[in-house]
Structure 1
Amino acid sequence: MTDPRIATPAPAPRIRPHLITSDQEALDVAQAFADRLRTDASTRDAERRLPWQELDEFVATGLWGITVPKAYGGAGVSSVTLARVTAIIAAADGSLSQIPQNHYYSLEVLRVGGSEAQKRFFYDRVLAGERTGNALAETGHKDFKRRTHLSRQDGQWRVSGTKYYCTGAIYAHWIPTLVSAEEEGGVRTYIVFVPRNAAGVTILDDWDGFGQRVTGSGTVRFEDVAVEPEWIVPFQSSFETATTIGPVAQIIHAAIDLGIGEGAYRDTLEFVRQRSRPWIDAKVETAAEDPLTLSEIGQVRVRLRAADALLRKAGRLVDEAIGNPTQDTVAAASIAVAEAKILSTKAGLLAANKLFELSGTSSTMAQDNYDRHWRNVRTHTLHDPVRWKYQAIGQYYLNGRRPPRHGAI
């Protein structure tokens, strides 16, 4: 019996996406698309309707190609712009905004560790409208060892293993997969760009988290999948030297949390202005004149703006590290991103909580589905533990110790 959770592969792109050529154009396009996206965001979440059409439209805007370097035909936007574009989309649909996170991540892995031929091939594919997802994480073990392996059998490279939390894989044309390979001197890790329609690849639509419902973050199985050497990109070596793979990955996550908070804040303002009633002891005509409500609204606004400011600062430091990757510049970028991630986590959760506190009981009605903001930000902020970021920041400033080089700082 066929497993009904098995996902159908994404069709090939039907049109070539618009080519964005500047940071400002990327921001303008993102805002225009977010305005359209916001209309049905609540329905998609409530019905867990996978956003195939919306993703095609998203890609067609050209936003999925904005990190392709200019030397390869893309806009090569700054990290500041990438983060802001992500936040803009997240404010409209926090769940959908996470889908391209690993797409951008894999393009950074390619930029840092890929060969010239690999860069030209995959960047061309992205600019033609093809999407990448991810197959990085594994479950069922207490350690972080990767058990999905790359091996050579009868002259052919093959991938076998199972991955989970594979955000975007359902929608992808290529699945960048973290693998381990036995080599002389020990085990090395690689990222293999596996074609979605390769024989032996099975994707299950089995993500059932209470938030980020349409991210497609389910299971990917690789059963003796044949891959070409041209699809294998060094990964471990990218963390043996100072590179920006970690801070680029993390700044996108921080931007998603900030954007979800901004979306919750926008809905709070609208609800309080139009539907909330003032508390009887406030002795005012409207909830928007309630002095305690005004104070809380101000606090949420300040937290969100502070998180945005730290995110912009972090983006500038990431760009400096991209231009001049040294141990010091990459460490400074990683710490700045960690600071932004802490505050975006706190601000996003605060905004989602205050929506209900300030709007009142009527804001909990199922028809409004405002709880999606809290469910989304609570789920996404669990991506990695913020408590460890405080520790890394303290070590950096007090003891002069650089943070560890991996994708979670």
Structure 2
Amino acid sequence: MTLSHHVAVITSDEQALIVASDLAEDFRRDSALRDRERRLPLPELDVFSRSGLWGISVPKEFGGAGVSNVTLAKVTALIAQADASLGQIPQNHFYALEVLRVNGSPAQQKRLYAEVLAGQRFGNALAELGTKTAHDRITKITRDGDGFRITGRKFYSTGAIYAQRIPTSVVDENGVQQLAFVTRDSEGLTVIDDWSGFGQRTTGSGSVVFDNVWVAAQDVIPFQSAFERPTTVGPLAQILHAAIDTGIARAAYEDALHFVRTKTRPWIDATSDKATEDPLTLKSFGHLSIRLHATEALLERSGEFLDRAQADSNADTVAAASIAVAEVRALSTEISLAAGSTLFELAGSQATLAEHGLDRHWRNARVHTLHDPVRWKYHAVGNYYLNDENPPLRGTI
């Protein structure tokens, strides 16, 4: 897979938001068609990469914009609103960059950040099927001369099919997890396009198989230690998931507004001339609007908490950031599903016609919100406020 040419380098938060807004307009145009046909967004990803947005979290000292997490979340939500799959594909890219920031050596940071600024995309090969829990990993990495060999099989490998490097969670001889930044064209590495989820259809979240794949020692970064001390790796991953769901909710909400304004007929008992005057429709839109705006406010708030935790990572700041992110993860899950479902209730039977593609919003929300159980967010939040218990240190909180 070749690199994109003429990659822009974004230098500020303001520029990142402008670029994301412009791209979102383009990506929105054929998003329903890509979903319907499961058309992989290769041309769109090339434009996305060349825009410079994949490098906005690279720290300023390494040539990037080092944008705030408030901005990173807003950019993600804007792209996800236009096309939920395109919003999710970079999620693990930014996650891997946070692991690099937290645990990478200066030499690793310099080299890998430069690759990102040159247009490389990082995918992921983290999760596995068939383990005792979804958190367990059994893919092995063993020493081989001045490098390592990897053998195993991964699934839910979002973005791997589009990536130049695939950050891979592996377990070494001592049972310690490492993160190997494996090049996409490595011998023995096979990416399989077998993702068949009914939502997020073009994320490429299928299988990656490692058959004695060699990786250089310089491309392996400590991973487990990022969760053995307070770091922002977990809440950074989670705020991006919340941003994706917030974008999906906003897309469903905007489509509902447009459909009711232009196509929906009033119900006879409403005794109104237009659907937009139906009092029960107004009540439902009011309910959706309040919850959506609350979610967007919580997303910004959680980004501020995360910014503070990155600047000074300790048990208190990281816990506060994790809880703030858990709050928006909980609400963004609820509103994305509610908006995708209520759309049909308010728009009526016409909205179910395949030509409109409006079912994609609920399907995308339902699939993406299953990433990790939101019911445990409520538990963590309640335990934090009621019992002063910090949440566990892991990538799912």
Q: TM-score range by the shorter chain?
A: over 0.9
Q: Is the 8 A contact 1:114 1:233 kept in 2?
A: yes
The answer to whether 1:48 aligns with 2:38 is yes
Identical pairs, percent: 56
Instruction: Please say if 1:111 is aligned against 2:92.
Output: no
> 1:365-386 CA deviation, whole Å, 9 max, x = no partner?
0111100000000100000001
How far apart are the structure 1 equivalents of 2:248 and 2:223?
31
* Distance in structure 2 (CA, Å) of the matches to 1:232 and 1:154: 14
What are the superposed Cα offsets for residues 258-307 of structure 1, whole Å, 9 maximum, x if unpaired? 10000001100110000000001111111111111111111111101000
Aligned to 2:62: 72
Unaligned runs of 5+ in 2: none
Within 2, Cα distance between the matches of 1:36 and 1:265? 19
Partner of 1:142: 132
Task: Return the alpha-carbon distance in structure 2 between the equivalents of residues 247 and 154 of structure 1.
Answer: 36
SS at match of 1:176: strand
CA distance in 1: counterparts of 2:259 and 2:228, whole angstroms: 50
The aligned residue for residue 151 of structure 1 is 142
Secondary structure of the corresponding residue to residue 86 of structure 1: helix
> Superposed, which structure 2 residues align to 1:180-219 within 5 Å?
180-183=171-174, 187-219=175-207
Residue type of the alignment partner of 2:152: G
CA distance in 2, matches of 1:348, 1:51: 23
Question: Distance between the aligned counterparts of 2:261 and 2:144, measured in 1?
Answer: 66
Which residue in the other structure is 2:252 paired with?
264
Judge conservation of contact 1:177–1:191 (CA < 8 Å) in 2.
yes
User: Aligned to 1:397, which of 351, 372, 385?
Assistant: 385
Please say if 1:176 is aligned against 2:147: no
- Determine whether 1:274 maps to 2:262: yes
Structure 2 distance, partners of 1:112, 1:401, is 24
| Alpha-carbon distance in structure 1 between the residues aligned to 2:64 and 2:112 | 12
Quickly say closer, same or farther: Cα 1:156–1:18, change in 2 above 3 A.
closer
Instruction: Quote how far apart the aligned CAs of 1:141 are.
Output: 2.4
Structure 1: gaps spanning 5 or more residues:
1-10
Cα RMSD between the aligned structures? 0.8
CA distance, structure 2, for counterparts of residue 387 and residue 347 of structure 1: 15
Residue identity in the other structure for 2:72: L
Q: Deviations over 1:163-212 (max 9, x none)?
A: 000000000000000000013xxx21100000000000001000000000
Out of 290, 294, 297, the position equivalent to 2:278 is 290
TM-score (norm 2): 0.99
Q: CA deviation at 1:19?
A: 1.0
Shift of 1:154: 4.8
In structure 2, the partner of 1:320 is 308
Given that 2:16 and 2:53 are in contact with CA atoms closer than 8 Å, whether structure 1 keeps it comes out as yes
Letter aligned with residue 61 of structure 1 = S
In the other structure, the counterpart of 1:385 is 373
What is the CA deviation profile of residues 90-124 of structure 1, one whole-angstrom value per residue up to 9, with x for unaligned ones? Answer: 11111221000000000000000000000000000
SS at 1:193 equivalent: strand
Q: What SS class does the counterpart of residue 37 from structure 1 fall into?
A: helix
Distance 2:329 2:241 in 1: 8
- What is the TM-score when the length of structure 1 is the normalising length? 0.96
Report the Cα distance in structure 2 between the residues aligned to 1:179 and 1:251, rounded to whole angstroms. Answer: 24
Matching residue of 2:326: 338
Tell me, yes or no, if the aligned pair for 2:4 and 2:50 is still in contact at 8 Å.
Answer: no
Q: Counterparts in 2 of 1:326-365, with a 5 A limit?
A: 326-365=314-353
1:251–1:337: 8 Å Cα contact kept in structure 2?
Answer: yes
Note the alpha carbon deviations across 1:373-408, whole angstroms, 9 max, x for none: 000001000000011111111111111111000000
For the Cα contact (< 8 Å) 2:245–2:333, is it kept in 1? yes
Aligned residue number for residue 156 of structure 2? 165
**1:181/1:188 contact within 8 Å kept:** yes
On the 8 A contact 1:16/1:127 being kept in 2, the answer is no
Q: Contact 2:200 / 2:368 at 8 angstroms: preserved in 1?
A: yes
Task: Say yes or no: does 1:304 pair with 2:295.
Answer: no
**Would you identify which runs of 4 or more consecutive aligned residues in structure 1 move more than 6 Å?**
none
